[in-house]
């Protein structure tokens, strides 16, 4: 297989990959949950703490201004990575879950009325379901669901009818369980034709494929740093400037105000009116370094690498285990990302995960925060292996060998 990334060089940038687990080299196949971090990100965060850390947007002394500049420079990098018109359209939050909740608690509560509808898909993570359940219970609105086809793609046959009378279409660009890639522009066009706005959960797509919020013609986009080589504790909501300017603040406190009196307050400008309190400063700088790393590789090269590696994984799993291993998700690698969910011989997903861990292989087991999707699939849980830039064919071979050991362990 020809890969455009120098994976050996990339692996050398990730200190954790030098570790052994249970006497075996670590094979990290859980990047859909959270990615590992390159030394460039770790160094950027360490350097800020050692050389110029202070609070942002407050002090006028040298290191405070240096820290503020580094923080806002990180915002600019994230904005450019997402294809935003300007950095001020990027709001820093704790994670993508908070980004979606921000939309639910500000824009939605100001615009959604009893009897309105919000349209979701059966692919969604709980982060893009539960906030809308809460809103539905408060406002007596209807949640409608775009179903999944037998080939694990969305069934858009009745999309126009589902959007009739809807205020929002909220959907993931890539499934964290099945890897299914959604045609984002088709979805946003349909939403706008129906008079609705479109929110895109880009957590799984942003680390793996080029993102362009303007080409998507989205209204809101949520993503997080920790899945794309950055630290945990920080994510972003991108939204159109005109929407952010009309949305009320989400939290109250310092930074999000321009003035406070005994009679009331005046909100700050965007994006800071949504960033109450001291933000995740060092984490933002780390995220900026992660963006630099991915930009240096090139997102087209990242995607090309993952298409090839996912295809290799699907081939090896089916070749070795055949029908004994049920794979959930599209088999066409052009229609999917690198998250591969499967069940093996009816063995519980957690048991599989524990056994392969003895061979140094890290995979996720469970419902992956997507219980409605598990219900559609008719299973309580799956085992999920997910690939990223630091994985290669040797990692896939190690997974297959570990699964073969699990097969022997359970005495089939």
Beta strands 382-386 and 117-121 are unpaired
369 assigned to active site: yes
Residue 3 has a pLDDT of 47
At residue 2 the predicted structure's pLDDT band, cuts being 50, 70 and 90, is very low
pLDDT at site 246: 97
Percent of the chain with pLDDT over 90: 97
The angle that helices 62-82 and 39-51 make with each other, rounded to 10 degrees, is 150
pLDDT at residue 220 greater than cutoff 70 = yes
Q: In whole angstroms, give the CA distance from residue 200 to residue 34.
A: 19
Given a contact cutoff of 8 angstroms between Cβ atoms, the answer to whether 238 and 80 are in contact is: no
Q: Report residue 279 as tokens.
A: 């933000």
Domains of the chain are 7-30+299-409 (3.90.1150.10), 43-296 (3.40.640.10)
Please state whether the predicted TM-score (pTM) of the whole model is above 0.85: yes
Residue pair 291/81 in contact (Cβ under 8 Å)? The answer is yes
Q: What is the mean pLDDT of residues 105-121?
A: 97
DSSP string of 3-16, one letter each residue: -SS-HHHHHHT-GG
Counting beta carbons within 10 angstroms of the beta carbon of residue 345, is it exposed (0 to 12), middle (13 to 18) or buried (19 or more)?
middle
Mean pLDDT of all residues in 14-41? 97
Is the preceding peptide bond at 317 cis, omega within 30 degrees of 0? no
Report, as an integer, the average pLDDT of 318-323.
Answer: 96
Average pLDDT for 76-86:
98
Please list the residues that pair with 344 across neighbouring strands. Answer: 325, 347
Catalytic residue among 203, 223, 362, 369: 369
Mean pLDDT value across residues 109-125: 98
Q: What is the pLDDT of residue 92?
A: 99
Sequence length of the chain is 412
- In sequence order, what DSSP letters do the residues of 133-198 get, joined into one string? HHHHHHHT-EEEEEPBPTTSSB--TTHHHHHTTEEEEEEESB-TTT-BBP-HHHHHHHHHHTT-EE
| 239 pLDDT above the threshold of 90 | yes
Q: What is the DSSP string of 343-367?
A: EETTB-HHHHHHHHHTTTEE-EEE-
* 91 contacts 273 by C-beta, under 8 angstroms: no
Predicted pLDDT of residue 412: 55
The dihedral region occupied by 170, where left means phi > 0, alpha psi between -120 and 50, and beta the remainder, is beta
**Is 91 strand, coil or helix?**
strand
| pLDDT above 70 for 101 | yes
Joined together, the tokens standing for residue 89 give: 């359209």
Q: pLDDT tens digits, residue range 196-213?
A: 999 999 999 999 999 999
Tell me the per-residue pLDDT of 342-391, one tens digit each, with 9 for 90 and over.
999 889 999 999 999 999 999 999 999 999 999 999 999 999 999 999 99
Cβ burial, residue 297 (10 Å; 0-12/13-18/19+): middle
What pLDDT, in 10s, does the model give residues 45-56?
Answer: 999 999 999 999
Q: What is the band of 409 on the pLDDT scale with cuts at 50, 70, 90? A: confident
pLDDT at position 1 is 41
């Amino acid at each position: 297989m020809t890969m455009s990334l120098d994976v050996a060089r990339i692996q050398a940038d990730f200190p954790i990959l030098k570790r052994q687990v249970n006497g075996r080299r670590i094979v990290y196949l859980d990047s859909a949950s959270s990615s590992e971090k390159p030394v460039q990100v770790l160094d950027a965060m360490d350097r800020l703490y050692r050389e110029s850390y202070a609070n942002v947007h407050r002090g006028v002394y040298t290191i405070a201004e240096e820290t503020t500049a580094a923080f806002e420079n990180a915002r600019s990098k994230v904005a450019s990575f997402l294809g935003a018109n300007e950095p001020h359209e990027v709001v820093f939050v704790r994670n993508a879950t908070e980004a979606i909740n921000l939309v639910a608690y500000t824009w939605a509560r100001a615009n959604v009325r009893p009897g309105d509808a919000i349209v979701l898909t059966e692919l969604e993570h709980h982060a893009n379901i539960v906030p809308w359940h809460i809103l539905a219970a408060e406002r007596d609105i209807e949640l409608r669901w775009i179903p999944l086809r037998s080939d694990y793609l969305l069934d858009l046959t009745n999309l126009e009818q589902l959007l009739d009378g809807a205020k929002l279409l909220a959907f993931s660009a890539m499934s964290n369980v099945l890897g299914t890639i959604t045609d984002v522009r088709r979805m946003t066009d349909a939403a706008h034709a129906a008079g609705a706005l479109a929110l895109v959960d880009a957590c799984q797509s942003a680390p793996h494929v080029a993102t362009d919020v303007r080409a998507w013609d989205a209204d809101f986009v949520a993503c997080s740093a920790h899945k794309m080589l950055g630290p945990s504790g920080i994510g972003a909501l991108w939204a159109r400037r005109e929407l952010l300017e009309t949305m009320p603040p989400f939290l109250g406190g310092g930074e999000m105000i321009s003035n406070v009196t005994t009679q009331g307050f005046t909100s700050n400008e965007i994006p800071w009116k949504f960033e109450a309190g001291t933000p995740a400063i060092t984490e933002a700088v780390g995220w900026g370094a992660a963006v630099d790393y991915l930009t240096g590789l090139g997102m087209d090269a990242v995607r090309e690498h993952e298409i090839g590696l996912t295809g290799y994984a699907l081939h090896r799993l089916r070749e070795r285990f055949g029908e004994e291993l049920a794979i959930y998700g599209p088999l066409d690698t052009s229609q999917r990302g690198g998250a591969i969910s499967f069940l093996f011989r009816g063995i519980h997903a957690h048991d599989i995960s524990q056994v392969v861990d003895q061979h140094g292989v890290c995979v996720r087991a469970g419902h992956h925060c997507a219980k409605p999707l598990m219900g559609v699939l008719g299973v309580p849980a799956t085992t999920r292996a997910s690939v990223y830039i630091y994985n290669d064919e040797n990692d896939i071979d190690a997974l297959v060998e570990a699964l073969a050991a699990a097969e022997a362990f359970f005495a089939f």
